[in-house]
Amino acid sequence: MSSYLDELNDAQRAAVEYIDGPALVIAGAGSGKTRVLTYKIMHLLNNGYKPWNILAITFTNKAAREMKERIAKQIGEQDAAQLWMGTFHSIFMKILRMEIDKTDYQKNFTIYDATDSKNVVKGIIKDMNLDDKIYDLRTVCSRISGAKNDLISPEQYESTEQYADDSNAKRYKMVDIYRAYMRKCQTSNAMDFDDLLLQTHLLFLKHPELIKKYSDKFRYILVDEYQDTNSVQYNIVKSLASLHHKLFVVGDDAQSIYAFRGARIENILNFQRDYKEAKIFKLEQNYRSTKVIVNAANNVIAKNARQLKKEVFSENETGDRIRVLESAADIDESYKIAADIYNRVADGDEKYSDFALLYRSHSQSRSLEESLHKRQIPYKIFGGLSFYERKEIKDLIAYMKLTQNGNDDEAFKRVVNYPKRGIGDTTMDKITALATANNLSIWNTVVRLQEFDPTISPRTINALAQFMKMVYQLKLFADSNDAYKATLQIANTSGVLKDLEADKSVEGQGRLENAQELLNGVKQFVETRQKDGNTATLAEYLEEVSLMTGDEKNEDDSNKVSLMTIHASKGLEFKNVFLCGVEEGLFPSQKSAESSVQLEEERRLFYVAVTRAQKRLVISFARMRFKYGQLAPAQPSRFIKEIDTKYLDFGAGGESQFEAARDIPYAGRFRKTFAENDRNIAARPVPKFGNFKKYVPGSGPNRAAQVSPSDLKEGTEIKHSRFGRGRIVAFEKMKDDTKLTIDFINVGRKVLMQKYAIADMQIVN
């Protein structure tokens, strides 16, 4: 028998071997669904299917890449490269570019990220003289995105429940904003992420022959995370599977947590209704977590009425009971968590990267960050500012986009006066208004600017003409060179690199280093593509970057504690998990009390959080939490109470302590807890990352004894509170200070001014 099948358990093997019709695989947390998908494709290839006839849709490009690499080892890279594998967005973008002549777009359309989309909407609200407090940017963008995902056009929007809500909120112009946004994207020859789905749906709707073409081509379709599909994804998949009925979907209704993005749990719950001949397979063995963690998660999710029944189990060790951590207030909670991590690393049994702090809301991270910083515990935040969202990177990418699509208004506005060319905001506002009035892109408006507005000064027209000439010449260069050469030419010719080099501050040098890192990334892209025998054009690089998912934009493999929202944690796993702020009104959220449907989604979110833990789980709550600048009482979440107490450890006070507040007055309890934590931490040894000169355990570097400038020499090893461990490689004496060049292990080379940096340093003996 084939060796790859022998690596599967009975349930996994049954799912892999069935290839006769539609199938739903209900995959519990940690049950090996990625392995099943990978082996399923290998099994199809071993049973006569050609790579180009298989469509595999994943929810991240990273997952697709890893699966393809595993398959390539079995069938060879050449055959693996012919698989249609990727995210919904990447697959549909490929189809749109192939069939672009049947759409209203040009082949060189660019893709707007969330920031670009918000800027377009912000401009429309401003042009329409609307109150930006009533027309809140986040709400308006969410409404437009939701409408697209539900296949609701601007013309249909007035008859929706959302429109009624908008009217109640006095957003009477919502339809006009939606219509203007669609028109603006069209004239800019740009699509946002939702458009990649919507325009594919409209393409198939207007051209039924294309449904036949692609449904015939894709003889077997696989979809991962099916519970997270929205209406438009559901409809396209159904169309593509209409001919051969070979649809294999994998998902877990218990992990459906993206309703706010338009995901419809009904897609997986009603799969058998849509495909009556479908076979159901259940992957119920959890390979990730201890028995205690799995059983506790089962306790909670069993309370949901809408679900596909399954019995997830673990054959791993029983494991420790789940610790329920009560704190006096949120700052006390953060303090205790930081202390626990510090102590465990100090004992030498754990690394910082073994820990994850999960929370319901981004706002919870502030006190957690402060406490970690005070203990000098390195951390990373998922979902924060990614590399590609930094100003200097977005500036360069805007130039790159503009060389590929001159009609990209957002790219044009971003860089037309960077570096400065004497083209001010007033001029651009006037040109933007002309472009909107004439339904043209800014580029095409500038071409006819004297015709539209003879009052524009010759100096301004000349500055714009020189800018556009430069962009056009860069386009010609990019068309005949690879992505790296094109990007380097853009960075130099545009003046961006020169501008960054002119800023000699520490922050300025950091921005320059980021730009250089972008160039390094483009070079790696070119080398990898050329090694595989593919072209490596600037357009191809932009396409790859624009479709990067959040997990790829925030990759960081260094030894740091991970902080993230529970939504961001889906698909990840950690040895130790702290689930923070598990209180009524926070988790479940206050809004979820409005309906049982929303409460069930919150319960699924809790299930996801619990099942991220492999060995140890701490569920934390506070009796008091800051809300709107004031301390307010809080109660432990109902979700804690839904777990059988035999799986919980309430600490020294037992369950009775959990049920009621302590008798000690709040203020006294708060001070007592801090004093105990301070004594405990001071008694612990320093974590084993080196012995530091003049280091006081339990205190930040600013409160440690000052390192003397005479201690610092070329070759000296230091640890910086922000950048971590590094080695001084150069000194440069200046008039009032000394410039230090330091090679840091985690963040690379940094140039720091000695008089500011020295307070945050310790010397490694």
- Is omega for the bond preceding 208 within 30 degrees of 0, making it cis? no
Residue with tokens 């004031």: 630
Q: What is the largest CA-CA distance in the chain?
A: 81
Overall residue count recorded for the chain in this entry:
765
Residue with tokens 């070759």: 715
Instruction: For residue 343, give both structure tokens.
Output: 């102590």
Query: Does residue 765 contact residue 746 with C-beta atoms inside 8 Å?
Result: no
Contacts with 509 (C-beta within 8 Å, 6 or more apart), sequence order: 503, 750, 751
CA distances from 157 to 52, 485, 606 (A): 39, 46, 34
State the burial class of residue 733 (Cβ atoms within 10 Å of its Cβ: 0-12, 13-18, 19+): exposed
Catalytic residue at 225?
yes
- Is omega for the bond preceding 709 within 30 degrees of 0, making it cis? no
Catalytic residue at 224?
yes
Query: Does residue 478 contact residue 538 with C-beta atoms inside 8 Å?
Result: yes
**Among the options 166, 192, 195, 225, which is catalytic?**
225
Report d(CA 63, CA 40) in Å as an integer. Answer: 15
Query: Does residue 622 contact residue 581 with C-beta atoms inside 8 Å?
Result: yes
Contacts with 526 (C-beta within 8 Å, 6 or more apart), sequence order: 482, 483, 484, 536, 541
Cα 545 vs. chain centroid, distance in angstroms? 13
Residue with tokens 């640890």: 719
Phi, psi of 314, deg, nearest 5: -130, 140
Report d(CA 119, CA 409) in Å as an integer. Answer: 10
CA distances from 247 to 18, 234, 555 (A): 11, 12, 32
Query: Does residue 395 contact residue 418 with C-beta atoms inside 8 Å?
Result: yes
Neighbours of 155 (CB within 10 A): 10
Q: Which long-range contacts (CB under 8 A, 24 or more apart) does 521-528 make?
A: 522/483, 522/484, 522/487, 523/484, 525/483, 525/484, 526/482, 526/483, 526/484
CA distances from 142 to 17, 132, 194, 382, 674 (A): 42, 15, 11, 21, 42
Contacts with 584 (C-beta within 8 Å, 6 or more apart), sequence order: 634, 635, 636, 637, 638
**Among the options 116, 224, 392, 600, which is catalytic?**
224
State the burial class of residue 291 (Cβ atoms within 10 Å of its Cβ: 0-12, 13-18, 19+): middle
Instruction: For residue 384, give both structure tokens.
Output: 């924060």
Catalytic residue at 34?
yes
Query: Does residue 530 contact residue 484 with C-beta atoms inside 8 Å?
Result: no
**Among the options 173, 264, 336, 612, which is catalytic?**
612
Q: Which residues participate in catalysis according to the annotation?
A: 33-34, 224-225, 255, 612
